[in-house]
């Protein structure tokens, strides 16, 4: 296996995926985004759209990435990547849900989409970053972004999300561009989605549904798939009434099972059936996940018993977590310039130069406003992070808003009780980041290192910083180990630390520190 085949692969991908490399918000003119000049004017406030991407859109889709694996032995990651690109436009939801006919879980056959956002606070740059991220998410789900619009408002309209006056404009844009889907940058109430759909005459989905869809496309392991399905079902369940089509509307807002006038039309019966099926499915998935969690916990307990320190690589999606894991451990994990490439955490065993063994795990990426159903469903994955000894928090130094990413990740870490774990910030992509931004980040995050997983810059220092943070084994020992117990010397190398070793006539006299369990075994050889 070549050393880092994923990187040459990624190089080629990036040559064709110019959009994400340059970033829409990095270069507002290129992307045709509203510039601060034409949008920061308080006069054009309430009901104005800022429009972007119009003509450049073609570039977003670009030619399909191609690569030549002939020279490289494809790694598992590379093969998964090829497979994923082939599958990219296939609708995501698995068949089990298809019999829930009325519910029509929005199979996101997102092809040609218009994005809309409501910008309530923050700077123009924030609004543009948010739309740019929504565009990346949409592309990751396999769609072509035709147009992106945002509106400045005090708050989203309770009935239609964007201002009512703007809905008509949106409908015109949708008709003119031939879009088949509108994606809203937020979590919308079922009634908002329905109202918008009535007006714009195409499918409307929100950010949460979009992220759920990407997760559904990317989940590979049984646990990952079950987690995503659980999240989708709980999202769906809340929207049954809204998404029941005509039948549910016929039933009005009446509480299911209520016997009032018109309360038990055919629609309601159908909704009840669907709800019951969903509840059954949810219960089944919860049970399965619980089982898988037991396995995972026992694996983790195994590691804990051996007192192998665990390092979790966490960070915003696309920050370079998998690339770093590959660099650190030659793990051959899938690397892709797309969001949420990794959904199944990979754990690798590795060792410090002085022989102490520890594990390093790749994790699911974070994103702003990660749907809470997903946090809930992926709780066991996040618990893995919460049970680690050190969090390597990777941040993309070339992103327009790395500070925003750092705090979005920390919010989720706090939510899964991982806030107290020691954290080392690894500022990645130094090769393409602005040096001023790197300096700014380092000043803000004193406990940080700057690296490039691409060029390898700073990697040795990062590894040293990680290893310096690993928990030290506790008990001081001095032992005279007979030469027949070379196994104990080995274990002391791996699990503990040896300060000195002296070969005497009676055996090896070692001084150092060992974890408690090992110290117990060494007790019989204790020397003074």
Cα–Cα–Cα angle for 461, 464, 470, rounded to 5 degrees: 145
Q: Which is nearer to ligand GTP, 228 or 341 (CB)?
A: 341
- Other CB atoms within a 10 A radius of the CB of residue 412 amount to 22
d(CA 89, CA 92): 8
| Stretch of residues binding ligand GTP (CB under 6 A), selected from 197-205, 380-388, 423-431, 509-517 | 423-431
Pick from 226, 319, 427, 488 the residue near ligand GTP by CB under 6 A.
319
Q: How far is the CB of 165 from Mg ion (least distance, A)?
A: 42
Is 321 among the residues that bind ligand GTP (CB under 6 A)?
A: yes
* Whole-angstrom distance, CA of residue 172 vs CA of residue 193: 17
**Nearer to ligand GTP (CB atom), residue 367 or residue 390:** 367
CB of 237 to ligand GTP, least distance (A): 27
Nearer to ligand GTP, 43 or 68 (CB): 68
Site for ligand GTP in 453-482 (CB under 6 A): 453-454
Q: Give the nearer residue to ligand GTP in terms of CB position, either 341 or 479.
A: 341
Among residues 4, 342, 388, 398, the one that binds Mg ion under rule CB under 5 A:
342
DSSP, residue by residue, 351-374: E-TT--EEEEEE-PPB-TT--HHH
Question: Where does residue 236 rank: exposed (0-12), middle (13-18), buried (19+ CB within 10 A)?
Answer: buried
Q: Tell me: does residue 329 bind ligand GTP (CB under 6 A).
A: no
The answer to whether 56 and 30 are in contact (CB under 8 A) is yes
The reply to whether 337 sits near ligand GTP by the rule CB under 6 A is: yes
Bridge pairing between strands 181-184 and 310-315: unpaired
List the one residue from 322, 338, 359, 398 that touches Mg ion (CB under 5 A).
322
Query: Distance between the two ends of the chain, CA-based, in angstroms?
Result: 49
Which one of the spans 61-69, 204-212, 318-326, 412-420 is the region binding ligand GTP (CB under 6 A)? 318-326
Measured over all CA atoms, what is the biggest interatomic distance in the chain, rounded to whole angstroms?
A: 97
Host H or E run for residue 187: none
* Residue 429 sits in the site that holds ligand GTP (CB under 6 A): yes
Q: Point out which span in 154-162, 318-326, 404-412, 418-426 binds Mg ion (CB under 5 A).
A: 318-326
User: How many angstroms separate the CA atoms of 103 and 105, rounded?
Assistant: 6
Residues 298-317 within binding reach of ligand GTP (CB under 6 A): 315, 317
Size of the site for ligand GTP (CB under 6 A): 24
Q: Which two tokens stand for residue 177?
A: 């561009």
What residue 359 binds from ligand GTP, Mg ion, none (CB within 5 to 8 A, per partner kind)? none
Q: How many helices (H) and strands (E) does the chain have?
A: 22, 14
Q: Which residue is nearest to ligand GTP (CB)?
A: 365
Least distance CB 354 / Mg ion (angstroms): 29
Non-local (6+) Cβ contacts of 237 within 8 A are 275, 278, 279, 282
Query: Does 323 participate in binding Mg ion (rule CB under 5 A)?
Result: no
Q: Are 216 and 194 in contact (CB under 8 A)?
A: no
Q: Which residues pair with 349 in a beta bridge?
A: 359
With CB under 5 A as the contact rule, the residue among 341, 370, 412, 488 that binds Mg ion is 341
Give the span between the Cα atoms of 165 and 87, in whole angstroms: 39
Does the footprint of ligand GTP cover residue 399 (CB under 6 A)?
Answer: no
Q: Cα-flanking dihedrals φ and ψ of residue 144, to 5°?
A: -105, 125
Q: Does 441 bind ligand GTP (CB under 6 A)?
A: no
Q: Does 452 bind ligand GTP (CB under 6 A)?
A: yes
| Shortest CB 406 distance to Mg ion, Å | 18
Separation between Cα atoms, residue 368 and residue 371, nearest integer Å: 9
From the list 317-325, 352-360, 374-382, 514-522, the region that binds Mg ion by CB under 5 A is: 317-325
Match 């698995």 to its residue by tokens. 94
> The tokens of 201 are what?
């005459």
Residue keyed to tokens 């509203």: 34
Q: For ligand GTP, which residue of 117, 320, 402, 512 counts as binding (CB under 6 A)?
A: 320
Q: Which is nearer to ligand GTP, 200 or 231 (CB)?
A: 231
Determine which helix (DSSP H) or strand (DSSP E) holds 218, and give its type and residue range: helix 207-218
318 binds ligand GTP (CB under 6 A): yes
Q: What distance lies between CA 212 and its chain's CA centroid?
A: 11
The residue sitting closest to Mg ion, measured at its beta carbon, is 342
Region binding ligand GTP by CB under 6 A among candidate stretches 31-39, 174-182, 410-418, 450-458:
450-458
Using CB under 6 A as the binding rule, whether residue 432 contacts ligand GTP is answered as yes
CA distances from 395 to 43, 51, 174, 371 (A): 37, 29, 36, 21
Segment interacting with ligand GTP, rule: CB under 6 A, options 119-127, 226-234, 350-358, 452-460:
452-460
146 contacts which partner out of Mg ion, ligand GTP, none, CB within 5 to 8 A by kind? none
> Sheet of 357-362: strands edge to edge?
347-351, 357-362, 310-315, 390-396, 423-428, 448-450
Report residue 151: phi and psi, to 5°: -125, 140
- Considering CB distances under 5 to 8 angstroms, the limit depending on partner class, which of Mg ion, ligand GTP, none binds residue 454? ligand GTP
Query: Which entry of ligand GTP, Mg ion, none binds 217, CB below 5 to 8 A by partner kind?
Result: none
For Mg ion, give the closer residue by CB, 160 or 322. Answer: 322
Residues forming the site for Mg ion (CB under 5 A) = 322, 341-342
Give me the residues that bind ligand GTP (CB under 6 A), please. Answer: 10, 315, 317-323, 335-337, 339-342, 365, 428-429, 431-432, 452-454
């Amino acid at each position: 296996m070549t050393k880092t085949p994923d990187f040459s692969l990624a190089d080629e991908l990036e040559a064709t995926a110019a959009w994400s490399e340059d970033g829409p918000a990095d270069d507002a003119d290129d992307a045709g985004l509203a510039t601060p000049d034409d949008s920061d004017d308080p006069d054009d406030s309430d009901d104005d759209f800022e429009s972007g991407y119009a003509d450049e859109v073609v570039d977003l889709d670009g030619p399909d990435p191609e690569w030549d694996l002939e020279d490289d032995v494809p790694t598992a990651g590379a093969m998964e990547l090829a497979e994923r690109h082939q599958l990219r436009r296939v609708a995501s939801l698995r068949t089990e849900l298809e019999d829930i006919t009325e519910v029509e879980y929005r199979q996101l056959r997102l092809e040609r989409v218009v994005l809309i956002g409501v910008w309530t606070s923050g700077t123009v740059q924030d609004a543009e970053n948010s739309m740019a991220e929504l565009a990346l998410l949409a592309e990751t789900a396999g769609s072509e972004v035709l147009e992106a619009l945002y509106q400045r408002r005090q708050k989203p309209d309770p009935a239609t999300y964007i201002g009512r006056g703007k809905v008509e404009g949106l409908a015109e844009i949708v008709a003119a561009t031939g879009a088949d889907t509108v994606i809203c940058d937020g979590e919308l109430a079922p009634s908002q989605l329905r109202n918008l759909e009535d007006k714009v005459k195409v499918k409307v989905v929100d950010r949460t549904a979009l992220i759920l869809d990407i997760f559904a496309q990317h989940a590979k392991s049984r646990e990952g798939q079950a987690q995503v399905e659980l999240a989708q079902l709980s999202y769906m369940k809340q929207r049954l009434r809204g998404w029941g089509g005509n039948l549910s509307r016929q039933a009005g807002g009446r509480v299911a099972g209520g016997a009032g006038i018109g309360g038990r039309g055919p629609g309601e019966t159908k909704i009840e059936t669907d709800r019951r099926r969903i509840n059954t499915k949810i219960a089944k998935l919860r049970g399965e996940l619980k089982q898988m969690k037991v396995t995972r916990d026992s694996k983790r307990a195994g590691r804990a018993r051996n007192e192998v320190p665990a390092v979790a690589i966490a960070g915003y999606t696309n920050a370079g977590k998998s690339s770093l894991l590959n660099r650190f451990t030659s793990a051959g994990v899938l690397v892709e310039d797309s969001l949420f490439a990794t959904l199944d955490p990979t754990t690798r065993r590795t060792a410090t130069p002085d022989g102490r063994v520890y594990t390093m795990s790749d994790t699911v990426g974070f994103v702003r406003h990660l749907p809470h159903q997903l946090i809930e469903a992926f709780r066991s994955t996040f618990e893995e992070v919460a049970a680690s000894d050190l969090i390597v928090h990777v941040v993309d130094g070339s992103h327009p808003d790395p500070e925003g990413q750092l705090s979005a990740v920390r919010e989720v870490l706090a939510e899964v009780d991982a806030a107290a774990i020691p954290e080392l910030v690894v500022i990645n992509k130094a090769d393409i980041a602005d040096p001023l931004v790197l300096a700014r980040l380092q000043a803000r995050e004193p406990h940080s290192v700057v690296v490039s997983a691409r060029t390898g810059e700073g990697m040795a220092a990062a590894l040293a910083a990680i290893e310096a943070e690993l928990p030290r084994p506790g008990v001081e020992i001095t032992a005279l180990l007979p030469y027949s117990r070379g196994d104990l010397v080995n274990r002391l190398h791996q699990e503990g630390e040896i300060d000195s070793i002296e070969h005497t006539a009676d055996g090896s006299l070692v001084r150092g520190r060992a974890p408690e369990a090992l110290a117990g075994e060494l007790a019989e050889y204790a020397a003074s």
